[in-house]
Amino acid sequence: MGKPLFYEILEKPATSCIIGICCAIWFYIQKKNIGYSHVGLSYETAIEGHHWRIITSAFSHISILHLVFNMSALWSLGVVEQLGHVGLGVEYYLQYTLVLVILSGVLVLGMYYILIQRFKIEYFRRVTAVGYSCVVFGWMTILSMKQPSSKLELFGFLSLPISFAPFESLIFTSIIVPQASFLGHLSGIIVGYAIAWGLIHGMNNYWAVSMLGWIVLVFVFSLKRSSAYDFNFLEIESVTDPSLPSVRFLASGNGRTLQMSALPVGDVELV
């Protein structure tokens, strides 16, 4: 007989918080009838300055099945938090989750750029990606290298050897779910291997907090510049050198409004 859910949540605090955040965002999206084109990541929105979508696309899910699949896999991968004795643990999990969210999103955009500019495949210009799978596939890969004897549990009854799970899941989702983003999942695997092999290393609490601070700043300023959100207390003005913004903070007003820009709707990919 397994442990009560309450004790499992205490053993996986970071995973539980992320799952809670993703579920809350899904509920908000459903309640407000927000579409994937408003929160998803695409090549066209990126070149228009919507860099904030790297974050919103990762934590947003449109369909309940997509949410359940990703959160089920993430819950199983939360075992990383309990493996402090092999160099993993809660801090490692939080630090490299930040890395996976950002780098996998940037890598997806890089792949889109190469396919569009080098190979002239215009299909990828307006493909919109949403979902947490980039991070899920990254943790599958890291765990397969660090703890190859582990199992990946899906939906409470399907068990996969973690050593094969990244590529098994990559092929399985590509066949079963036609909208699944092969490039999005592959980017998570690539970043996962880079972390597991030590190509990306040296993260600690100082660098994690610094990185989080930069993420928040870029997120806020890109929201402002792309007119996706009107921050009345923040203004960006031109100075002598137009490439350098001058920032000043004004008294906050009460007229904050959320405005979603009208973007051309293309194809959606689930990540």
Give the SS3 label for residue 1: coil
Query: According to the 3-state scheme, what is the secondary structure of the chain?
Result: CCCCHHHHHHHCHHHHHHHHHHHHHHHHHHHHCCCHHHHCECHHHHHCCCCCHHHHHHHCCCCHHHHHHHHHHHHHHHHHHHCHHHCCCHHHHHHHHHHHHHHHHHHHHHHHHHHHHHCCCHHHHCCEEECCHHHHHHHHHHHHHHCCCCEEEECCCEEEECCCHHHHHHHHHHHHCCCECHHHHHHHHHHHHHHHCCCCCCCCHHHHHHHHHHHHHHHHHHHHHCCCECCCCEEEECCCCCCCCEEEECCCCCCCCECCCCCCCCCEEEC
Cα separation, 41 vs 130, whole angstroms: 7
Q: State the catalytic residues.
A: 133, 185
